[in-house]
Structure 1
Amino acid sequence: MKSPKNPSTQPRLFQVIDTEDLIPPHHILRQINETVDFSAIHDWVAPLYTEKTGRPAADPEQLLRLMLLSYWFDHSERELYEILPMHAGCLWFCGLDCESLLHPDPHHPTLPDRTTLVKTRKRWRQHGIFDRLMTCVVDPCIAAELISPDVHAAADGTQVRANASIHSLREVKLAPVETLEDYLARTAREDEQTESPTADRDPVEVYSPLIHRPSSKSMSSLIN
């Protein structure tokens, strides 16, 4: 029997989705989250923040998780922010959900601006924290065989018929396209290239004596 035609393509007005239920137990990001103690980052970066003055800063643990996703999956910050809303696993790994992207609430975790991610990475590197944080997270993942220490950069587009059973397939561990040392060196060069001594200065209003604004009296005389 042919299924009836869907009278409407409008999605449900109200949806209750728990991102936790979307991530399978064997997902690589869930295994990494259970292996690494990310709470230690707060003690590492505590000297860089004040307790009573200034606006609330972005969560350093969430920023580190975003940086790790950029390294593991070989995405620039711009590419990461483009695919993040479409990947439930990455959102869950960063403590976010679809509601936090579509309807940001200051009382709940939100996605920080992309420039905040880049500036925080520069600041951590200036204080010698960024390299140590990345190493302390990646090394336990390598020891748990969740991440391959080898570099896999080759690609073959040849289509071949697989001689394997569908039941024998298993998820492989992450294999970044560059070593952690190369990644840290590359991002350090990028941070140096983007640094500008006048980037944080306020724009200066330039007054030109050649530009004359007629007064209301002169304007009325022109009209009359």
Structure 2
Amino acid sequence: MISNQQTFNLSPFMAIYDIVVPKDNILRQINEIVDFSFVYEELQNKYCLDNGRNAVSPIRMFKYLLLKSIFDLSDVDVVERSKYDMSFKYFLDMAPEDPVINPSSLTKFRKLRLKDVSLLDMLIGKTVEIALEKEIIQSKTIIVDATHTKSRYNQ
């Protein structure tokens, strides 16, 4: 199972998140309420479990894409911002001192793991559905950057 690749974060600096990321921060609320384990279930057959080096957690990669959608950022910008924005690092389950991924990893993740374009739509849809259910998102209108999705009308 992919989740076997996860490790516990034992950084002595993790407590800083309680100081610098307020309880009402949208990313904190999403992280605390939404169980992202569904990402493992959906992507389980997209990973080789007994060959190659350990992959960056699919949940973290998905969360990078979610941050891109929420804040309308490019791959490079979301990775750059995750270097210094503590709410991003908290959302990505990173220790404050952890290095970020290379922006090209997001492209690779989309192309290799999310080959089926509807899978990305489904994952984002599932996250939004959970956030609406838990009343984290109040609006009934969601605007998503569809650069990497296929339009039903423009094949």
Tell me if TM exceeds 0.5: yes
Deviation at 1:142, TM superposition (A): 2.5
99, 103, 112: which one aligns with 1:123: 112
Deviations 1:145-178 (A, max 9, x none): 3233436xxxxxxxxxxxxxxxxxxxxxxxxxxx
Higher helix content, 1 or 2: 2
How many residues are aligned here?
Answer: 135
Alignment of 1:133-144 (within 5 A): 133-144=123-134
1:150 partner amino acid: T
3-state SS in 2 of match to 1:67: helix
Partner of 1:188: 149
Question: Given that residues 19 and 92 in structure 1 are in contact (C-alpha distance below 8 angstroms), is that contact kept between their aligned partners in structure 2?
Answer: no
2:16 partner amino acid: T
Question: Given that residues 81 and 88 in structure 2 are in contact (C-alpha distance below 8 angstroms), is that contact kept between their aligned partners in structure 1?
Answer: no
Question: Given that residues 60 and 92 in structure 2 are in contact (C-alpha distance below 8 angstroms), is that contact kept between their aligned partners in structure 1?
Answer: yes
Distance in 2, matches of 1:35 and 1:52, equals: 32
2:60 partner amino acid: Q
Alignment of 1:1-224 (within 5 A): 17=13, 18-22=15-19, 23-101=21-99, 111-127=100-116, 128-147=118-137, 148-150=139-141, 179-180=143-144, 183=145, 185-188=146-149
3-state SS in 2 of match to 1:100: coil
Distance in 2, matches of 1:70 and 1:19, equals: 24
1:186 partner amino acid: T
1:121 partner amino acid: R
Partner of 2:5: none
More off after superposition, 137-146 vs 43-52: 137-146
Structure 2: tracts of 5 or more residues without a match: 1-11, 151-155
TM-score normalized with structure 2 length: 0.76
Deviations 1:52-74 (A, max 9, x none): 11221111000011111111111
Distance 1:86 1:124, change over 3 A: same
2:18 partner amino acid: D
3-state SS in 2 of match to 1:61: helix
Question: Given that residues 42 and 61 in structure 1 are in contact (C-alpha distance below 8 angstroms), is that contact kept between their aligned partners in structure 2?
Answer: yes
Question: Given that residues 19 and 97 in structure 1 are in contact (C-alpha distance below 8 angstroms), is that contact kept between their aligned partners in structure 2?
Answer: no
3-state SS in 2 of match to 1:26: coil
Distance 1:36 1:76, change over 3 A: same
1:138 partner amino acid: V
Deviation at 1:136, TM superposition (A): 0.5
2:59 partner amino acid: E
Structure 1: tracts of 5 or more residues without a match: 1-15, 102-110, 152-178, 190-224
Distance in 1, matches of 2:42 and 2:95, equals: 27
TM-score normalized with structure 1 length: 0.54
Higher relative contact order (Cα pairs below 8 Å, separated by 6+ residues): 2
